[in-house]
């Protein structure tokens, strides 16, 4: 039987995007989010490609562009703050034909959530504790609410997904740790400000960077190359101690940035990992976004790939005869594309925090070289373009053939024929 009710665990990027497209297709999503409200915070992420196109289809592009930032320059400085390498961000815009913006992850999540909050059932402060599948659906147990049955359950609950653990097993089985840790936080009133410029300083094994936001706020990104240290992300005191150990130095603005940690907003800390799974679905349970195929925090593409996955998963659920058929199609449409993205993203992480002085020097020369039009064309075009044509799920819903006498024939054959662009 075709699925109708869908429980989505996680209201980050993938969750609300999935809820939006399910609603468009006439299905009933319920969103469950562990946090008490949509989570703000996070870094500035770059947003382009098919994710950008899908957000445009959702009618949200004006809001995204308004909330976004026009990056002007990536600037790398030395210990005295002198520019040693830079890249004019125009090269990114040229490679994406101007369809590119930088936006705070929290703002993007908020815009996606606002598109569904009044139309979908949303439970905050809630989480899934058990999933029991039978022929008729999935019986879901919650932390607080009574158990309920759904046709399909989707884990959109990020890198440390609970739905993945309950359905496929422990995280370690699927996590590919890339050897870096990342901390992100925001502070008010930080000086100096460099509008539109991403300013970064690197020492072997660590990089510290800042970007000026509106409302006199600055967001900081601290990266360490570190295979050993194990810190619980939610233990903010341990995270602070660790950051002091790794970044306390008279170089550049390191001390000043560490001082901003006191009283900062939304300290976020995590391992830089990918999630690699042989399959993203089992029975009536599926994963989407970071839960299924995290490319890593440093890939800069996690949000766009989450939106793409949500669009395809909702489209397939709307058209298949059974949940299992839909989930198998979802994986076959996107599997090769997303796995290739993960392979490419693995190399990107290493460029953020080279482990040696020579590595930093080579990285800085590469940044400079990207400013050369021919190099930019070759490298960025290859890395930025999304080489897949997605099925046009909207075309499936739209056609209502009025027939020669102007009478709607109901389920016209046109409505179930293959859509243009279907692989």
Can you give the binding site for ligand FAD, defined by CB under 6 A? 9-15, 32-35, 39, 41-43, 45, 105, 127, 156-158, 162, 184, 268, 289-291, 297, 300, 302-303, 306
- The strand pairing partners of 139, in sequence order, are 132, 149
C-beta nearest to ligand FAD: residue: 12
Distances (CA, A) of 150 to 154, 234, 419: 10, 31, 29
Long-range residue pairs from 53-61, CB within 8 A, at least 24 positions apart, any chain? 53/99, 54/17, 54/307, 54/308, 54/311, 55/307, 57/394, 58/17, 58/20, 58/115, 59/115, 60/111, 60/112, 60/115
Q: Which is closer to ligand FAD, CB of 190 or CB of 319?
A: 190
Q: For strand 83-88 and strand 73-77, is the pairing parallel, antiparallel, or unpaired?
A: antiparallel
What is the nearest approach in angstroms of ligand FAD to the Cβ of residue 302? 2
Q: Which is closer to ligand FAD, CB of 7 or CB of 396?
A: 7
Q: Which is closer to ligand FAD, CB of 127 or CB of 391?
A: 127
Q: Which is closer to ligand FAD, CB of 126 or CB of 396?
A: 126
Distances (CA, A) of 17 to 38, 108, 314: 13, 11, 9
Q: Which is closer to ligand FAD, CB of 186 or CB of 319?
A: 186
What is the nearest approach in angstroms of ligand FAD to the Cβ of residue 212? 16
What is the nearest approach in angstroms of ligand FAD to the Cβ of residue 268? 5
Helix (H) or strand (E) holding 82: none
What is the nearest approach in angstroms of ligand FAD to the Cβ of residue 285? 14
- Tally of helices (H runs) and strands (E runs) in the chain: 14, 18
What is the nearest approach in angstroms of ligand FAD to the Cβ of residue 406? 45
Q: Which is closer to ligand FAD, CB of 15 or CB of 396?
A: 15
Tokens read off for 378: 């070759």
Q: How many CB atoms lie within 10 A of CB 145?
A: 12
Q: How many CB atoms lie within 10 A of CB 325?
A: 15
């Amino acid at each position: 039987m075709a699925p109708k009710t869908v429980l989505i665990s996680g209201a980050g990027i993938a969750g609300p995007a999935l809820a939006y497209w399910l609603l468009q297709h006439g299905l009933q999503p319920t969103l469950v989010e562990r946090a008490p409200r949509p989570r703000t915070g996070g870094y500035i992420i770059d947003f382009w490609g098919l994710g950008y196109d899908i957000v445009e289809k959702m009618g949200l592009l004006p809001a995204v562009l308004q909330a976004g930032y026009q990056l002007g320059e990536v600037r790398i400085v030395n210990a005295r703050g002198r520019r040693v390498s830079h890249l004019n961000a125009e090269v990114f815009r040229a490679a994406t034909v101007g369809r590119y913006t930088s936006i705070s992850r929290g703002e993007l999540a908020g815009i996606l959530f606002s598109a569904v909050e009044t139309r979908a059932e949303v439970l905050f402060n809630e989480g899934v504790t058990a999933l029991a599948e039978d022929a008729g659906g999935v019986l879901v147990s919650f932390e607080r609410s009574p158990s309920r049955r759904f046709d399909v359950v989707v884990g959109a609950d990020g890198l440390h997904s609970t739905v993945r653990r309950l359905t496929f097993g422990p995280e370690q089985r699927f996590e590919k740790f890339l050897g870096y840790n990342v901390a992100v936080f925001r502070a008010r009133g930080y000086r100096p400000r460099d509008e539109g410029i991403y300013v970064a300083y690197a020492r072997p094994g660590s990089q510290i960077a800042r970007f000026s936001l509106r409302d006199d706020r600055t967001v900081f990104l601290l990266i360490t190359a570190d295979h050993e240290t194990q810190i619980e992300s939610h233990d903010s005191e341990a995270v602070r101690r660790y950051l002091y150990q790794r970044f306390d130095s008279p170089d550049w603005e390191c001390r000043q940035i560490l001082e901003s940690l006191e009283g900062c907003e939304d300290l976020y800390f995590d391992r830089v990992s990918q999630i690699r799974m042989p399959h993203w679905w089992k029975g009536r349970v599926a994963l989407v976004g970071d839960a299924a195929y995290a490319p890593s925090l440093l890939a800069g593409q996690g949000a766009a790939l989450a939106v793409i996955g949500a669009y395809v998963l909702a489209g397939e659920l709307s058209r298949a005869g059974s949940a299992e058929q839909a989930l198998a199609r979802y994986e076959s449409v996107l599997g090769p594309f997303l796995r290739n993205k993960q392979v490419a993203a693995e190399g990107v992480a290493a460029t953020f925090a080279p482990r040696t002085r020579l590595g930093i020097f080579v990285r800085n020369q590469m940044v400079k070289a990207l400013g050369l039009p021919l190099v930019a064309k070759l490298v960025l075009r290859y890395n930025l373009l999304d080489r897949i044509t997605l099925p046009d799920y909207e075309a499936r819903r739209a056609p209502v053939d009025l027939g020669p006498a102007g009478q709607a024939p109901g389920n016209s054959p046109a409505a179930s024929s293959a859509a243009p662009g279907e692989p």
